[in-house]
Every structure is written in structure tokens, then in C-alpha cells.
Amino acid sequence: KITNIKKIITPAMVRRVTHPPLRRSLSGSALLPCVFTLPATLLPGYGPFIRWSRGSGAQERTVLSARDGVVKVHQAYAGRVSLPGYSVDPLNASLSLSQLRSNDSGSFRCHVALGENYEQDTINLEVTGVVFHYRSPEERYSLSFAEAVRACEENSAEVATPEQLWAAFHSGMNSCAAGWLRDQSVRYPIQRPELGCYGHAEFSPGVRNYGKRDPSELFDVYCFANDMQGEVFPAGVPDRLTRPEAVAHCAALGGRLATVGQLYLAWSSGLEHCEPAWLSDGSVRFSISSLRSDCPAGGPGIRTVSPAELNNGTGHFDAFCEKSCL
């Protein structure tokens, strides 16, 4: 369904089309529509010029261009974009984008020019979901494969696939901790190889792979949370809470303690709260959403308070509550 069409009548005809936004999951694929209506002259050298771009103004970057059957893809999108209908129908400039990454979210534009006629299709793409590293609040590398599956489920997520971990890596994820994936392999994404992290001698970023492991072995896990069903918010109480008090406080507000997966989804949507706060698994974490944050703990991400500071649930912190949408 096309939501907005504007025609500007001048000596050259300009047609602008705005499509409804698309929501697609991390590591999945999207087909961005662009089937134009310009009168195409299909003689060699006289076909329409097609250009897909992302962003606007000074931030606009070319994704792909095509003319007279020749398609050129920008290096940043090599192997991930194509015009699947173009070879059969030169009037079909719809763009296929695969292996979706978080940083693919944004505005895409299809520009089509033929002589003095011009058409521009605009569509906003939102890539949903977040991969996060999870370890037991008590101890590193303490989860069998079955326990890893259960840990993700208890935190509003599922065990991530290798494709999702690669998409997270290409979106900037960096973690020097080996974790289970859904195919029972154990891997981790590393942007900056460093001493003390297996594979540092390679001095190259990538996803390190231990291969498929015995399900009784103990590691951390990489979970994937895809969709927020409610709202996560800090309790913001003036007096800090023990874990039992945090549970009771969220219940009094009509909610419950948020899970780790829910916090990551809220963080990916911009939630920032510098105060350490209880979560449902008994861990204490806080979220930093931007590089310009006033939080004292560095760049964007979720930070975890050391278990030694929790005093078996009697330490005093804020709370992250979650309230489901009716």
C-alpha cells in the first residue's frame, strides 16, 4: 500500500512516492519496493537510470546503481543487495537486502530518471531485535547447552543463531566470552583482538568459532531478543532497594522486574539509566545509550555490577520494572 504520492507538474514530470515502513528481524532479509511508472525507452543506452541510496542530505550514501542492464553495488553492501526483478523487467527496481544488521535501519530511497522525467520512492526500514551475551549471575562459564536454552527463555529471548551473531558483529558487537549458539556451536564476536582473548594473535576482527561442542560442557550463551511486548522503566525510588523490595515495588506498580532481554530491547530503543538496578535474574545492571552520555562508565552498552557487590540480594540498588501493554 502506498501512503503518499506527490506529482509536481513542470516541463519535467517529478513523481515522489512514500511507502509504509518495513520492520524486519536482525539477520533476515527485506524487499524494498520500487516499481516505477515512467515511460521506459528500452533501446540500449536509453533505459532508465536507477540509484538506491540510504540516508539524506550530507549523510546520503549510494547503495546501488543500474543502467541498461548493468548493476553496480557499493562495496559496503557487496554480497547483500540485488535487484531481483530487474533482469526480467527493467521497470522493476525493487531492492533485496539480506543479512540485515542493526545499522541497516534508516531511510532508503530509489531514484529513477529517464530523460527529463524523475521518480523517487522512499521507504523506512527498521531492523528489530538484539543479540546479547548472557552469563549466570553467579559464575562465568557455568551453563550447559540445556541450561543456556533455559536462561535465554527466562530472559525473554532465545538462543541466537550463528547468522544473528554475525549480524550483531557487523553491527559492532564485541565480546571476549565464549557462548553457546542454537546450532550447539560455541563462538564469540571480537572487534578488537586483545591479549587474554583467544585468537588475539590473529589481530583481525571476526567471530571466533570453537565448533560444535558436547552439550554437557559449560560456557556462557548468546541470546536473541526480538520484540518488546511492554515498557521497561527504572523505578526511580529515592531509597535504594534490596532484591525482595525491588520485586515488591515493581508489583505495586502493576508490573514486575524486567528481564535482561527486555532491558537490552529497551536500551536498543534509547533507554538510558546510569543507576545500577535489579533485574529478574538477580543481576544488577545499568544502560548507556549514547557516546555523549553523562554516565561515568564509558561508551554505549549494558554494564553489569560485580556479583560480589550484591550481597546475596541484600545490596541496595534501583530496579528496572516492566509493565506489559494491554
pLDDT for 320 equals 96
Fold (CATH) for 230-324: Mannose-Binding Protein A; Chain A (3.10.100)
The residues of the chain that CATH labels 2.60.40.10 are: 14-128
Give the pairing of strands 179-180 and 220-225.
Answer: parallel
pTM confidence score: 0.87
Instruction: Pick the more confident residue, 99 or 5.
Output: 99
Nearest-CA neighbor of 137 among 220, 246, 196?
Answer: 220
User: Rounded mean pLDDT of 239-244?
Assistant: 91
pLDDT for 96 equals 98
pLDDT band for 38, please (50, 70, 90 cuts).
low
Give the pairing of strands 14-18 and 117-128.
Answer: parallel
Grid coordinates standing for 8? Answer: 509536481
Residues in CB range of 100: below 8 A, 6 or more apart: 24, 25, 26, 27, 28, 29, 30, 127, 167
Does residue 254 sit in helix, strand or coil? coil
The whole-angstrom separation of Cα 129 and Cα 268 is 8
Does residue 321 sit in helix, strand or coil? strand
pLDDT for 44 equals 55
Give the pairing of strands 318-324 and 273-278.
Answer: parallel
CATH class of 130-225: alpha beta
Nearest-CA neighbor of 179 among 128, 136, 227?
Answer: 136
Question: Which of the residue ranges 182-191, 219-228, 286-295 would you say has the lowest mean pLDDT?
Answer: 286-295
The residues of the chain that CATH labels 3.10.100.10 are: 130-225, 230-324
Tens digit of pLDDT for each residue in 258-277?
Answer: 999 999 999 999 999 989 99
Nearest-CA neighbor of 30 among 52, 47, 59, 14?
Answer: 52
Tens digit of pLDDT for each residue in 48-82?
Answer: 899 999 998 888 999 999 998 899 999 999 999 99
Question: Which of the residue ranges 165-174, 189-198, 278-287 would you say has the lowest mean pLDDT?
Answer: 189-198
CATH class of 14-128: mainly beta
The whole-angstrom separation of Cα 107 and Cα 1 is 17
